[in-house]
Amino acid sequence: MSSFSVTEPSKRSKWFAGTMVVIYALVTMVPLAWIMLTGFKSPADAISYPPKVVFEPTLEGYVNLFTTRTRQTPEFLAANPPETWYDEIVREYDMVIAGPSKFGERFLNSVIIGFGSTFLSIFLGTLAAYAFSRFKIPLADDLLFFILSTRMMPPIAVAIPIFLMYRQLGLSDTHLGMILLYTGVNISLAVWLLKGFIDEIPLEYEEAALIDGYTRFQAFYKVVLPQAATGIASTAIFCLIFAWNEYAFAVLLTSGTAQTAPPFIPTIIGVGGLDWPAVAAGATIFLLPVMIFTILLRKHLLRGITFGAVRK
């Protein structure tokens, strides 16, 4: 670019734009920052008025999130001195830790169902996307559009027959049931995105491999797959985030064994109403991985959220 360009914004307008954007970014971060702070507050600090920005940090919220506690008599407490730092925290309230809470379990469910459905979506999606990209498939466009339009159904509308179906098949509240369901929902996104990525790989590579005596299948996994690795990785993250965040199906179709974290976090109850620091701690632990993934994904973000309609 030359030293002077009519399209290059002036220094003053850059400075103005920068300031405005930074102000917006800071304001938009306030709710998130507040939740993360609340996770380190004591219950009293969390509901104090005026809201406290400076407070004495404590891990109480996190301890409460992961444990269940019972109140004990002073004699019992005196006879059993606290053994660990988390014991000490709950002793302040004359309580002892009775055992782990369900949060760990629910979080693990989120991990199992998230990764399980992501793996399945990517495995099936890559195969289908390759076929859609490279072969003539009758009604391919209609099929692709159909795959996409299934996303227009409100989740509750889909949940009615799935609920009945799963009840009959014994899949309600099972990991397998949720993995299959999320794969069914995610596969449209996976196929659509992956087709876009595979379309971008030049055909010449495969043709060369085929002429060298590779079979179609060998050409697929030795030539196309490595080339599509970035695309597959970012599609996988999108599928994972969807399954991770999903709430409507989870709340309707699971209640115990296979319940994921989103329906569980709002139900964390402390002594006398909602235990906000524990809820905030749960939200923080649950949201952090997604934030990290978002940062990793920032280059392909646009493509994922628009079903590949906009590519940068």
Partner 1 sequence: MSETPVTRAAAATPKRVARRIKGLSDRAIAWIFVAPTIFLLLAINIFPLIWTINLSFTNFKANRIGREVKNVGLRNYERILTDSDIWLNMQATAHFLFWTIFFQVLIGFTLAYLINKKFKGNDLWTTIIVLPMMLSPAVVGNFWKFLYQPQIGLFNYIVAFFTGKDPSSFEMLGSVQLAPWSIVIVDTWMWTPFVMLICLAGLRSIPDYIYEAAEVDRASKLRQFFTITIPMVLPFLMLAVLFRGIENFKMFDLVVQLTGGGPGSTTELTSINLKREAFEKWRTGYASAYAIILFVTVFGLASIYVKALNKVKER
Interface with partner 1 in residues 251-290 (CB under 8 A): 251-252, 262-263, 265-266, 276, 279-280, 283, 286-287, 290
Q: What are residue 70's DSSP bridge partners? A: 96
User: In the set 241, 258, 278, 281, which binds partner 1 (CB under 8 A)?
Assistant: 241
Alpha-carbon Rg for the chain, nearest whole angstrom, is 25
Segment interacting with partner 1 (CB under 8 A) among 65-73, 85-93, 228-236, 304-312: 304-312
Q: Between the CA of residue 292 and those of 234, 297, 306, what are the distances in Å?
A: 13, 9, 20
Least CB distance to partner 1 at residue 72 (A):
30
Which of 30, 78 has the CB closer to partner 1?
Answer: 30
Q: How many residues bind partner 1 (CB under 8 A)?
A: 111
Segment interacting with partner 1 (CB under 8 A) among 60-68, 71-79, 96-104, 239-247: 239-247
CA–CA distance, 26 with 162 (Å, rounded to integer): 42
Which of 271, 305 has the CB closer to partner 1?
Answer: 305
Residues 144-183 that bind partner 1 (CB under 8 A): 144, 147, 149-165, 180-181, 183
Establish if 44 lies at the interface with partner 1 (CB under 8 A): no
- The beta-strand segments (E) located in 80-177 are 95-100
Alpha-helix residue ranges (DSSP H) falling in 200-272: 203-211, 216-219, 225-227, 229-245, 248-253, 261-264
Establish if 207 lies at the interface with partner 1 (CB under 8 A): yes
Q: Which amino acid is at 93?
A: Y
Phi, psi of 273, rounded to the nearest 5 degrees? 95, -170
Q: Which run of H or E residues covers position 177? A: helix 175-199
Which of 19, 80 has the CB closer to partner 1?
Answer: 19
User: In the set 188, 234, 235, 254, which binds partner 1 (CB under 8 A)?
Assistant: 188
Least CB distance to partner 1 at residue 246 (A):
8
Establish if 132 lies at the interface with partner 1 (CB under 8 A): yes
CA–CA distance, 282 with 127 (Å, rounded to integer): 37
